Every structure is written in C-alpha cells, then in structure tokens.
Structure 1
Amino acid sequence: MAKRPYRVEVNYPKDKKPRYFLVKDVWFKGKKSKIKKSLGTNPPSEDDIKRYTDEFAFEIEFKVAEKKAEFSSNMFNFDYLNLEKVKEIERLRFLYKTFTELLTTNEIEAYEQSFEINYVQGTTSIEGNTFSLQEARDLLVDGIIPKDKPLREINEIQNFKKVKQYRDNYKGKVTIEFIKNLHYMIMDNIDYESAGIFRRTDDIVITGCDLQVAPSLLIEDDLTLIINEYYSSIENNKYTFEQAVLFHYKFEMIHPFADGNGRVGREIFNYMLNRENYPKLLFLGDDREMYIKSLKYGNKDEFEPMVKMFVNLILSQRYEILIKNLRKVVIPQKRGGQMRLTDFDNM
C-alpha cells in the first residue's frame, strides 16, 4: 500500500489554545488547496497521529477527490452535461485513481482480473453469448471449458485473453491499425475471412436502427475523421467522457466490420476512458436495454439524453462499489496482509 502523505498542522488563534489538524495538500494542474481534519487542542503524540491517520483516512481521501473534481470540472467545456454531472464523474475518476494508487502490485492484478471477468462476460452477453459469470471465470482463469457451449461462444470468451494482453501493452492513440488489431483478436477462430478486415459490402443493417451505415468505400475515411475529431476535441478541453460517448456512437453508426462492431466499439470506449484515468464501464448484460436505448437517442440526434444515460450507467455500476473498495484499502484490515481477489467488488 502506498504511503498516505498526511501531516499535522497547528493553528494559533488569538487568545485561544492552539488547534491541531491532520492535513493533506491537494495539487491539481497548478491549483493548490488542502484538506484539514481537526484533532483538537492537545498536541498529538506519534501514536495519536497513527490512530488519527487510520481513523480519518477515508474521510480525507474522499474530500481530496471532491476538491480535485471541483478543480478539474471547471477546466472542461461540455456540450450535453451540466457542471454538477461533470463533477460527479470527476469525483468518480479521482476516487478510482486514489483507490488504485493505494493498492500493491498484486492487489491491482487481483482487482483487474476480477473486473476483466465481469467485463468480458457482460460485453459478450450483450451480443447473445450464454456464458454465466462463473463459466467465464472458469475459462479465463482456470482454462476450464464447459461441455455444453458451442465453440463460437467459447472462442468469444477466450479471445479476450489476447485482447487484454494487446490492450494493456498498447500505449498510443486510437488508430486505424489499433481498431483492426482489436477486431482481429476478437474475431479470431470465429470468422477467419473477415477478422481484422473492414467490410466490403453495403448490404448490412443495424438491428433496431433505421439509419444507413457508412458506405464500405468510405469506412476508413469516416473512421479517420471521427478519430481526428475526438483527439482535437480533447486538445481543446472538451470533456473526455462526453467525447468518448460521442465517438462510441459514431463508431457504431459507421459499423466498419461485418460482425463484432459492438465488442470492438466497447473496447475502444473503455480504452479512451482508461487512458485518462477514468474507471471502465462494465457493459453488463442486465444493462443491455439501457445501453441500446441510449444509442437510439443518438439516432434521433438527441445526444444529451444519450450521454446522460452513459453517465448514469457508470455511476450506478461503479460509484458505491468503489466507495466500498476504497474503505477496504484505507481502513486497516484486522487480519493484516494484502487484499485477496474475493475482497474486491466489481458488481
């Protein structure tokens, strides 16, 4: 666990006893503040300071995240969200960052493994895969193949081992090559002929959508356009989460592949979030109806409710669970030692 940089500060009010505070400095892009927790008027001993640090750590870290969210949200321009919603997402971002920074390397691996299992089972179930969460875990972690599942469904799950390795090692921007590589891995052993290749036909529709997909001859041009629009908007302080949602919608409407567009698009969306230290969205099967509904708003050019539904999805999935997990790492565990995989919640 990383060391928490708290210090004791003393104030000397006129005609009153000195007051002691447990303090953490807050820095964010040139802005400075500090979070203070009163310790009373008696000088704290070393044992007192350790006890106060343990007792007030969660409260202080939560307020630090709120302060950073206040700083950061005022630096963005946003088109469809209001300031309060942006602050909610930013608070989630900084709570997540604090949580991961307090974990050991082994704890991070355990947490990410737990998340990945939930994510893979969710993103494939949206497309009709029937693996349960336990079956997905058995296959991804222990290599146990269920006997009653079709080969396609098995490959849909285990292909994400290669996807994760590639995604975790890739450090660059989203590019045409990155998109094709993701598709190749997602569709490997499923569709040999089209894996990693843009569709060559225009005879394709998106279920539940009356809009036409991009003509096959324009796919690469259209993808290049939305990639450039995304990074240009980020450079101009447009709000990252909002822009990632808009990119995801545009990607799905281009529909560059014959199959696998949803899984690829969701990978790109989470890659964009993770690059900016936001927690990823799970895309659970239970959220399928809300997810599809949000994209349908985009079909009607109603981007405000579309973006807000994505915000509500990630807040409903991650906020309370993140609070629970953060408490576990800032409040000392009686049994001591590092966290176990089962200590973390991702659902």
Structure 2
Amino acid sequence: MNLFDFVVDTLGEPLTKTLILEFHMILKKNSLDAERGFSGSWKKIPNMITGSPVQLAQPWEVDIKIADLLTWWKESKKEFEDIVKFHSEFEKIHPFQDGNGRVGRFIMLKQCIESNESLIAIDEKYNTEYKKSLLESQMNGNYENLENVLRKCQNFLEEKNELLSNTLRCLVD
C-alpha cells in the first residue's frame, strides 16, 4: 500500500502518534532509512534544516511535543488556520530523521479533507515563498504569511484542476 491510499483509508480516524508513525513507515518502506531502523520511529539523532536557524526538537523531546501538538489539534476548531499552525509546529518538531516535510504534507492533506478545506499542494511556483513564511512562523509564531501562501497554493491547485477539467471536456466533446 502506498501512503496516499493509506491516508485515504484512514480518513475519519483521529490523528494519533501511532498513525503518524505508520505514515512514516509506509513512506520509508524499502528505503535505506528502513534498513537502518529509522522508519516508523521518532528520530534518534538530532537533526537540522540546512540553512535554517530554527531550533528543532531534540530526539528526547519529540514524543512529548507531538503529544502536546496532538492534544492541541484535538481541541482546535480544525479550521484552515488550525491546519496551518499544526503544519508549522509539526515541521518545527521535525520528528523523523528524514521525510518530515512529506509526512507533514500528507497530514495536511488528511486534515484538509476531513475539515472540508480545499486541498493544498505546495509546488515550484510557491515553494520559496512557502519556505520563507514557514520559517517566519516558526521563529515568531506569526502564521499570517504562511496562511496567505497556503491559500495561494490552494487557489493555484484549483486553477490547474479547472484547466485540466476543461481540457478533458474538449477532448471528450
């Protein structure tokens, strides 16, 4: 099973530590990380984001910080702003040796679908702006610019989907 299918299969299930670890295990299946025992488990070695001044969680802090974040999520309204804050804080914890961004985006996909929000796809058009606003949110707790960038990503995805739909309609007609 691939991770996308697993995310779809788990829609409606609460977001838990176990589920996040399963996301990571599926993502890293048959990889060197899996061979080295880094798949489906919190990081064992301190890590960093190259070129970023953000202080990430240390390995011994991950479990409690994820638990706190999940408690906050459970009590949140689960609106767009909550999804953005969760994403920023998850990436700041950076709980895995590798694959944090991909797992974070799959979590965001699950949250958007369950919250009836438009999907967010961060692609090359907004990648630099996304990274800059993500850093800003992690450094000062201001999520406004990150919210704006992720709204742009939603709109851009909707425009691409509309173009594809129109193209397919032309081919069928």
2:4 pairs with 1:164: yes
Q: Which residue of 1 aligns with 2:52?
A: 209
2:121 pairs with 1:282: yes
Q: Which residue of 2 aligns with 1:145?
A: none
TM-score (norm 1): 0.44
Q: Which residue identity is paired with 2:128?
A: E
Q: How much has 1:309 moved relative to structure 2?
A: 1.6
* Structure 1 unmatched ranges of 5 or more: 1-160, 329-340
Q: Which residue identity is paired with 1:176?
A: K
RMSD: 2.3
Give the counterpart of 2:76 among 233, 236, 244: 233
Q: How much has 1:185 moved relative to structure 2?
A: 0.8
Looking at structure 1, the residues matched to 169 and 95 of structure 2 have their Cα atoms a distance apart, in angstroms, of 40
2:17 pairs with 1:173: no
Q: How much has 1:342 moved relative to structure 2?
A: 4.1
2:141 pairs with 1:312: no
Counterparts of 1:289-308 in structure 2 under 5 Å? 289-301=128-140, 302-308=142-148
Give the counterpart of 1:253 among 92, 108, 115: 92
Q: Is the 8 A contact 1:198 1:256 kept in 2?
A: yes
Q: Which runs of 4+ in 1 moved over 2 A?
A: 320-326, 341-344
Looking at structure 2, the residues matched to 260 and 162 of structure 1 have their Cα atoms a distance apart, in angstroms, of 15
- Identical-residue share of aligned pairs (%): 24
* Structure 2 unmatched ranges of 5 or more: none
- Whichever structure has more helix as a proportion of its residues is 2
SS of structure 2 residue aligned to 1:251: helix
Q: How much has 1:299 moved relative to structure 2?
A: 3.0
Residue 198 and residue 277 in structure 1: after superposition, are their counterparts in 2 closer, same or farther (change >3 A)? same
Q: Which residue of 2 aligns with 1:62?
A: none
Aligned pair count reads: 165
Q: How much has 1:343 moved relative to structure 2?
A: 4.4
Looking at structure 1, the residues matched to 98 and 74 of structure 2 have their Cα atoms a distance apart, in angstroms, of 26
2:65 pairs with 1:222: yes
Looking at structure 2, the residues matched to 323 and 274 of structure 1 have their Cα atoms a distance apart, in angstroms, of 19
Looking at structure 1, the residues matched to 116 and 144 of structure 2 have their Cα atoms a distance apart, in angstroms, of 23
Counterparts of 1:109-188 in structure 2 under 5 Å? 162-170=2-10, 171-188=12-29
Residue 308 and residue 181 in structure 1: after superposition, are their counterparts in 2 closer, same or farther (change >3 A)? same
Alpha-carbon deviations, 1:171-207, whole Å to 9, x = none?
A: 30111011000000111111212110111122x1112
Looking at structure 1, the residues matched to 74 and 121 of structure 2 have their Cα atoms a distance apart, in angstroms, of 24
Residue 303 and residue 164 in structure 1: after superposition, are their counterparts in 2 closer, same or farther (change >3 A)? closer
TM-score (norm 2): 0.85
Looking at structure 1, the residues matched to 115 and 143 of structure 2 have their Cα atoms a distance apart, in angstroms, of 22
SS of structure 2 residue aligned to 1:177: helix
